[in-house]
Amino acid sequence: MTVKQIAGKQIAFDEEGFMTDPNAWDKDIAGVLAKEVGLDELTEAHWKVIEFTRADFQTQGEAPGLRRITKVGGVPTKQLYELFPKGPAKKIARIAGLKKPTGCI
């Protein structure tokens, strides 16, 4: 486990770089985490996906995978790859302050 100072908070991460406590997350932290995965700016379209992911986590108890985000969240796969290139489900979960989705390699 690693602890980093982000947006004035001590945030714990697992060995793969995912937050260990989703309740410690906020939008300021999301902005920093987005930059760490190569996204300089989070647009309204990014936030729509991130907010769906966090809401789905609240009801399902785990971060949604790519298929669930496309089917239930209503965001086409092509758009997810445009917004979050190279591994969108993992990047979304990381930015949303959640653990790595099950089924992700």
Half-sphere exposure of 93 (CA within 13 A, CB side): 28
Q: What is the C-alpha to C-alpha distance for residues 80 and 88, in angstroms, rounded to an integer?
A: 6
Domain ranges, ordered by start, for the chain: 2-95
Q: Which amino acid is at 53?
A: T
**Do 64 and 102 contact (CB within 8 A), yes or no?**
no
pTM value > 0.85: yes
Q: What is the C-alpha to C-alpha distance for residues 45 and 42, in angstroms, rounded to an integer?
A: 8
Catalytically annotated residue among 33, 92, 104, 105? 104
Q: Is 104 one of the catalytic residues? A: yes
What values do phi and psi take at 60, rounded to 5? -100, -20
105 residues of the chain, pLDDT tens digit each? 899 999 899 999 999 999 999 999 999 999 999 999 999 999 999 999 999 999 999 999 999 999 999 999 999 999 999 999 999 999 999 999 999 998 654
What values do phi and psi take at 57, rounded to 5? -60, -40
